[in-house]
Structure 1
Amino acid sequence: MSSLAQLIGTDGQPLYGRLEAPVQDINFTDFDLRTPMGKAIPPGRRGRRFNQFQFIGIHSDAIIAGLAIVRLRWVCHAFLYLYDTQSGAWKEHKFTRPLTSGLVFGQRPNDDVTAFRHGRNRLTIRATPRPGIRQLRVSLADGTRIRATIDESTGYDPLALCTRTGFTGWTYTQKASARVCHGRIDWQDRKYDLEALGALACVDWSGGYMRHETSWNWACISSRLSDGRSLGLNIAAGVNETGYNENTLWLDNRQIALPPVHFRFDRYHEKHGWALTSADDSVRLHFDPVTAYRDKINALIMASNFSQYLGRYSGEIDIEGETLHLERLWGVAEDHYARW
């Protein structure tokens, strides 16, 4: 996998746009960060204003798992949810610690460790460029265990995007969906063999000097079409559309850019379906929510109203002279407000 060495150049500015390859080093402290009035912020204080997170979703017709590790200005946070699609069993875990206590979070998306520890609960994501894998290890006090390996070698072509954010900031995001995933989840006296289930994974590594107050919607699918081809989908609105957008489809690992997409849903009637449509009518999707992970924080120093829905997508996407038909594919849809 080819890559770019660093995001911030010698002029103190990042590379903007949809990049030709992922970036090895998100050297954010080299960015010429300033206040809106132009006052320079010294390198030693730049780390406090930098937010970053890594999310991994594992999807199959039997089990769906979602895990995130988050570094914010005043706290670090992690969550894990598990959903058995057959029985409807659901379990979620949330952990929060002050500042960076218990947190390890590097700045190399494809060659580093992201980890969170809270008592007997440990969550670790380790990315290794050779041979090109991302390992997920979870060990929780209640006995839940995850040992999963995501293939990031053959056909790995992630989205790498950097856009302006607010008046003085930027956001870098690296995402890939529908990646082959091996390993096992042990939960509720059941053992889920991810390879046997044909599980596919999505990975989202994002960081930046984000808006103090922000919101976004996000849609993600890691599944297979009825003809057996893998389909990964990443659609977002509200955060990375400053001259570019991050909307991307992976068809059998081949990356295809998509146009801007509008999310239509009723935030206060959560069982209602969502519609995702593009202005050129090439994206026509319907999402039926089934269950959700939610988290609300309203504190003096920060606030978050976060909902990530699990459900099924149906509809059509027109690409390169072909119409892809999605028939009740599992995926997620996200609605998030944040002040940090």
Structure 2
Amino acid sequence: MKTTETKLIDDRGRVRTGVFAEPVDHINYRDYDLRTTMDKPRSGLARRWRFNQFQFVSVMSDNWLFGLAIVDLKLVSTGFFYLYDFETGDMFEQSLTQPLARGTVMAPYPERGEAGFAARGTSLRILPYVGGRNIRVSAGDTVQADIELNGDHDPLRLASPAGYSGWVFTRKSAGLLASGQIRWGDRIWRCDERTRGTVDWSCGFMRRETAWNWACLAGCLADGTPVGLNLATGVNESGMTENALWLNGECIKLDFARFEFDRYDPTATWRVATSDGRVDLRFVPSGVRKERLNAWVLASNFRQYAGTFEGVLVDNSGKKIPVAGLRGLMEDHFARW
């Protein structure tokens, strides 16, 4: 039985990098030997204020999609969520910010740390437990949500260098069983046996300017097998990737991903494929959540599309698995932290 806490930063202030088969209990970032590009040690205050952390969760059904994020950038925090109805094309979204991360909780514990955000009558919470997460949203009389994500037993965990002196840690899962319901006005969406979810827990001393593309899906194949996918380019690519496929709860590591899309045509079809030939998918966008912010120190050009995947996946035996009609997300993002 495990009796000691596993930390990401060792006793000499160095980050442990690589893919981790076992949980990393504590992201003890204040112990990191952070330095300038000229090798001058940074202060404890700098280590605190340069550290970023966020958590994003999503739930995907045949007819609807839900996404929620809590982001702590120290100077400011953001909480947002959105709902997309594939049957009607309706989207509801709410995004709130808090200066100096007031009303925000982001514990540096990937397996057990709570995340919360509250502002102007809206409350967002992500509560972890063994094998899953509870997601709660309260936004007045407009939206109420209470969702459980279960079966989170084989996540992808990795830490990789970022820039000259930084690093990023991430813990990701996709294809998790979802239960519970969302009430949006007079609509009530209940999770069924095909509803699946994703969890993205990330943190680190990230590059000052970062740009990435990202894709995820969660659902069930034609034979009922749960499936999840996480692909990205632009982050976590220093000798490793954060790309993974989950089939029936088992995490299968993937190689590099290539995204093809027209940034200036929001209706155009995307294509994403991996260099190992395990993924070749097309994505047709439907709804989009977007944001443009240029506030001197901080900036963001963000587009996250809800849509539909089709194409082919390949399992460990080399069997080709057809994908048709699975819901998911695509993202194009520039950030200045």
Check the 8 A contact 1:295/1:307 in 2, yes or no. yes
* 1:190-243: CA deviation from partner (whole Å, max 9, x where unpaired): 22221x363211000000000000100000010111111011000000011001
Match of 1:213 among 209, 215, 219: 209
Task: Give the Cα–Cα distance (whole angstroms) in 2 for the partners of residues 32 and 148 of structure 1.
Answer: 39
2:139 corresponds to: 140
Q: Which runs of 4+ in 1 moved over 3 A?
A: 1-4, 279-282
1:328 counterpart = 2:328: no
Residue 97 of structure 1: how far off its partner (Å): 1.1
Q: Which amino acid aligns with 1:335?
A: D
Secondary structure of 1:239's counterpart equals coil
- Counterparts of 1:276-315 in structure 2, within 5 Å, are 276-315=272-311
- In structure 2, what is the equivalent of residue 86 of structure 1? 87
Corresponding position of 2:61: 60
Equivalent residue, structure 1, for 2:158: 161
Call closer, same or farther: CA 1:318–1:298 in 2, change over 3 Å.
same
* 1:150 to 2:146 alignment: no
Letter in 2 for 1:116: F
Q: Which amino acid aligns with 1:219?
A: A
1:37-66 deviation digits (Å, cap 9, x = unpaired): 111112233110001100000000122100
Task: State whether residues 89 and 286 of structure 2, in contact with CA within 8 Å, keep that contact through their aligned partners in structure 1.
Answer: no
Change (3 A) 1:142 1:295: farther
Q: Alignment partner of 2:240: what SS?
A: coil
Stretches of structure 2 that go unaligned for 5 or more consecutive residues are none
Displacement of 1:179 after TM fit? Answer: 0.4
Matched, 1:184 2:185: no
Contact 2:194 2:219 in 1 (8 A): no
Shift of 1:152: 4.1
Larger CA deviation: 21-30 vs 38-47: 38-47
**1:12 corresponds to:** 13
Match of 1:72 in 2: 73
Q: How big is the shift at 1:4?
A: 6.7
Partner of 1:262: 258
2:313 is aligned, of 313, 317, 321, to 317
Contact 2:243–2:254 at 8 Å: present in 1 too?
A: yes
d(CA) in 2 for partners of 1:4, 1:316: 40
Offset of 1:293 from its aligned partner? 0.7
The Cα of 1:177 is off from its aligned counterpart by 0.3
User: Cα distance, 1:280 vs. partner?
Assistant: 4.2
Q: CA RMSD in A?
A: 1.6
Counting only pairs closer than 5 Å after superposition, residues 21-32 of structure 1 correspond to structure 2 as 21-32=22-33
Partners of 2:292 and 2:7 in 1: CA distance: 35
Counterpart for residue 222 of structure 1: 218
Q: Distance between the aligned counterparts of 1:336 and 1:91, measured in 2?
A: 21
Larger mean Cα displacement after TM superposition, 89-98 or 4-13: 4-13
- Tell me which amino acid in the other structure corresponds to 1:72: L
Quick one: distance in 1 between partners of 2:254 and 2:108? Answer: 28
Give how far 1:87 is off: 2.0
Deviation at 1:318, TM superposition (A): 2.2
Normalised TM-score (structure 2): 0.96
Instruction: Give the length in aligned residue pairs.
Output: 335
Q: What SS does structure 1 have at the residue aligned with 2:25?
A: strand
1:274 to 2:274 alignment: no
Query: Aligned-pair distance for 1:165?
Result: 0.2
Task: Give CA deviations for 1:45-98 in whole Å, capped at 9, x if unaligned.
Answer: 311000110000000012210000001142100111001122222100010111
Range with greater deviation from structure 2 (325-334 or 140-149):
140-149
**What amino acid sits opposite 1:111 in the alignment?**
R
Distance 1:278 1:143 in 2: 40
Alignment-derived partner of residue 253 in structure 1 = 249
CA distance in 2, matches of 1:98, 1:314: 41
